[in-house]
Amino acid sequence: MKKKIAIVGAGPCGISVLINLLKNLSNLDISIFDINQNFCKGNSFRVDSDSLLLNTTVDTTSVFYEDRLHFFKWLNSKKDIPKKYKLKSAFVPRNLASKYLFETLNEYLLKSSEKNNNVTIFDFFLFKYDAKHTFIDTSMNEYLFKYVILCTGHTSSSINMKCKLGELSNNDGYIENSFLNINGKIHKNDNVLIIGSNLSAIDTMLLLNESKHQGKICILSKSGSLPSVRSDMGGDYIPKYLGLEGFKNETISVNHLKRLFFKELLLLTTKEDVKSYFLISKDPKIQLETDILNCIYSKNKWQVLVFSMLEILTNYWFKFSTADRILIKNKYKKIIDRFISSMPLENALLLKDYLNNGRLEITKSSHENVYYSNSKKGFLIKNKNVVYNKIIDSSPINIENKDFSSLLNSMLEVGVVKTNINRLNSLDIDNKFFKCRNDFDANSNIDAPIVYAIGPTLRNNLIVSNFFLESSRQANIITNHISTSRIPIIITGVTS
Ligand SMILES: Cc1cc2nc3c(=O)[nH]c(=O)nc-3n(C[C@H](O)[C@H](O)[C@H](O)COP(=O)(O)OP(=O)(O)OC[C@H]3O[C@@H](n4cnc5c(N)ncnc54)[C@H](O)[C@@H]3O)c2cc1C
């Protein structure tokens, strides 16, 4: 009997899962759901612009966790790709990553009949689940699945989530979800106020720059801090103390890991420099300049160490004590997130130019201090004079997906996922937590599917899922799990 699997969402995460399943398993009947325009692109890789670069280097971007250089080899097999993108340390346009996913998927789709697998692609969203364990799509078709993998990405799981900017969104000039598409919505001379200062805000900046926009830009956020800056120079460093292998057989404590981290860091740089890596200035302009200098002069091998730490955390998460895990989530999550959500040096230099020539301002404030003036026909920040014709909501949390919310809520109602789904994170995926139902235990309902939730789907406490290689790691775990779980045989009637 074929295992019936649904993948909800065909962004980088969903496609990674699909490819890993097709490569490694046989006798599968897989259905994958998403709107056509997001297929292999998802939300953040959807815009077809060469300005938007991956923030992970080529050697840390692969659909196969066990074959890190797969993307590198793919790039090098292509004649039409510029040489500068064929380096392990390169930051390549994100649209190349979606092309890579698309071609790799096709390669495995062509071979799928050899393994007796079949895949059906649906151009619909799944939006509802009912007590008969039936899934319903937006065209009211009904399905039954044994496994469901939620790869719904940057979406809110709260059905009632309102636009975070409240009243502001009711005015002309409000633009939602900027990094998806601002094409044609901004005039060359518009003054633009971007709300949020994370990666999607940087994307907005890059797209404005690409469109030869001339007006003033203000990035406004509560933290006022930009993503950190990554250089492409540190890729070749092989850690002495923080190699993954070294931790295989020991229990690990946070303090031990920290000691090794700093010991290794001091092999690479001086105590003085170390301080500057972790200091966060209150002035975003100074912070940006410090980050850029760190990138240029110390070659940022230390950033490779942050990624080594991450590998240890993700691979050996359950070797840490519960107290340590809580400590990591509460204390170190922010630092790790800052390094993961980083921008390539090239982008940082562009921002610096904008700041220096006065076209860009970064303001630490809340959108609550922004108001719309009918007389001036634009948005103003309290106590400031510039009138902004456009306001762009670049806070990713504002990406609302009602279909996913209603799907999740109906699954919660039936009890097929536990209420604490919001608290899952990608580290917990190594444990049984990610599985929302006990695996065919005696008391469980035999018809209910096993549900996995991966990627940045679930926001609270999310620690490191927000990058490509982490999706591949999770895809790998799920593949292994599905391969070892057996479909129970139900015997009905009485036999003697
Ligand atoms: C601005 C920005 C820049 C980024 N840059 C990088 C980068 O350079 N490198 C990197 O590694 N990571 C980057 N990331 C992180 C990136 O989002 C993840 O690596 C990756 O896109 C996550 O993929 P995903 O498939 O989980 O999510 P998404 O890309 O969000 O895809 C989720 C998909 O699920 C679909 N979906 C949702 N609900 C349903 C439903 N009910 N039914 C069917 N389909 C549904 C959506 O349509 C969507 O296509 C960036 C993120 C942002 C916001």
Q: Which atom of ligand 1 is nearest to the CA of 200?
A: 1
Query: Which residue(s) pair with 343 in the sheet?
Result: 229
Residues with CB under 6 A from ligand 1: 8-14, 33-35, 38, 42-45, 54-56, 94, 125-127, 151-155, 179, 199-200, 203, 396, 401, 403-404, 407, 455-456, 466-468, 471
Q: Which atom of ligand 1 is nearest to the CA of 55?
A: 8
CA distance 388 to 477: 47
CA distance 405 to 412: 10
State the pLDDT at residue 159: 45
State the pLDDT at residue 41: 92
**CA 154 to ligand 1 center in whole angstroms:** 6
Residue 199 contacts residue 227 (beta carbons within 8 Å): yes
Parallel, antiparallel or unpaired: strands 378-381 and 3-8:
unpaired
> Scanning the structure block, which residue is given the tokens 């720059």?
209
Residue 404 contacts residue 157 (beta carbons within 8 Å): yes
Q: Which atom of ligand 1 is nearest to the CA of 404?
A: 41
Phi/psi-derived region of residue 15, left when phi > 0, alpha when psi is between -120 and 50, beta in every other case: alpha
The protein residue with its alpha carbon nearest to ligand 1, atom 49, reads 42
In degrees, rounded to 5, the angle at the alpha carbon of residue 477 between the alpha carbons of residues 25 and 45 is 95
Q: What number of other Cβ atoms are within 10 A of residue 274's Cβ?
A: 16
Residue 350 contacts residue 360 (beta carbons within 8 Å): no
**CA 454 to ligand 1 center in whole angstroms:** 11
Length of the chain: 496
Phi, psi of 47 (to 5 degrees): -75, 125
Q: Which of 7, 37, 38, 43 to mutate to test the pocket of ligand 1 (most atoms within 8 A of CB)?
A: 43
**CA 248 to ligand 1 center in whole angstroms:** 31
CA distance 344 to 160: 36
State the pLDDT at residue 420: 46
Q: Which atom of ligand 1 is nearest to the CA of 56?
A: 9
Hey, where are the domains in the chain?
3-159+400-484, 166-227+345-398, 229-340
CA distance 195 to 395: 7
State the pLDDT at residue 381: 95
Secondary structure of 70-122 as H, E, C letters: HHHHHHHCCCCCCHHHCCCCCCCEHHHHHHHHHHHHHHHHHCHHHHCCEEEEE
Parallel, antiparallel or unpaired: strands 229-230 and 217-221:
unpaired
State the pLDDT at residue 407: 84
Q: Which of 20, 145, 152, 458 to mutate to test the pocket of ligand 1 (most atoms within 8 A of CB)?
A: 152
**CA 410 to ligand 1 center in whole angstroms:** 22
**CA 73 to ligand 1 center in whole angstroms:** 24
**CA 42 to ligand 1 center in whole angstroms:** 5
The protein residue with its alpha carbon nearest to ligand 1, atom 19, reads 467
Residue type, 55: N
**CA 490 to ligand 1 center in whole angstroms:** 38
Parallel, antiparallel or unpaired: strands 390-393 and 28-33:
unpaired
SS3 state of residue 489:
coil
Q: Which of 154, 203, 343, 404 to mutate to test the pocket of ligand 1 (most atoms within 8 A of CB)?
A: 154
Tell me the CA end-to-end span of the chain in Å, nearest whole number.
26
CATH architecture assignment, domain 166-227+345-398: 3-Layer(bba) Sandwich (3.50)
SS3 state of residue 318:
helix
Residue 399: partners with Cβ closer than 8 Å, 6 or more residues away: 43, 154, 155, 156, 177
CATH 3.50.50.60 applies to domain 3-159+400-484: yes
Residue 80: partners with Cβ closer than 8 Å, 6 or more residues away: none
Give yes or no on whether 3-159+400-484 and 166-227+345-398 have one common fold.
Answer: yes
CA distance 354 to 215: 11
Q: Which of 40, 44, 180, 405 to mutate to test the pocket of ligand 1 (most atoms within 8 A of CB)?
A: 44
**CA 151 to ligand 1 center in whole angstroms:** 8
Helices vs. strands in the chain: H and E counts, helices first: 13, 17
**CA 155 to ligand 1 center in whole angstroms:** 9
> What is the full per-residue pLDDT of the chain (496 aa) written as tens digits?
899 999 999 999 999 999 999 999 999 999 999 999 889 998 888 888 898 999 888 988 999 999 999 999 999 999 999 999 999 889 999 999 999 999 999 999 999 999 999 999 999 899 899 888 899 998 899 999 988 888 887 665 444 445 567 788 888 898 876 556 677 889 999 999 999 888 888 989 999 999 999 999 999 998 888 888 987 655 567 888 998 888 887 788 999 999 999 999 888 877 777 777 777 788 889 999 988 988 887 666 777 788 888 888 878 877 888 899 888 877 887 777 777 778 999 999 999 999 999 999 999 998 899 999 999 999 999 999 999 999 998 865 555 567 777 887 788 787 776 544 444 444 554 443 344 443 334 345 556 787 777 776 544 333 445 578 888 888 888 898 888 765 444 443 333 2
Write out the DSSP string of 394-436: --GGG---HHHHHHHHHHHHHTSS-GGGGG--TTGGGSGGGSS
**CA 12 to ligand 1 center in whole angstroms:** 6
Residue 41 contacts residue 9 (beta carbons within 8 Å): no
Query: Which residue(s) pair with 93 in the sheet?
Result: 53
Gyration radius of the chain's alpha carbons = 24
State the pLDDT at residue 28: 96
**CA 46 to ligand 1 center in whole angstroms:** 9
Q: Which atom of ligand 1 is nearest to the CA of 151?
A: 26
Q: What number of other Cβ atoms are within 10 A of residue 312's Cβ?
A: 22
State the pLDDT at residue 399: 53
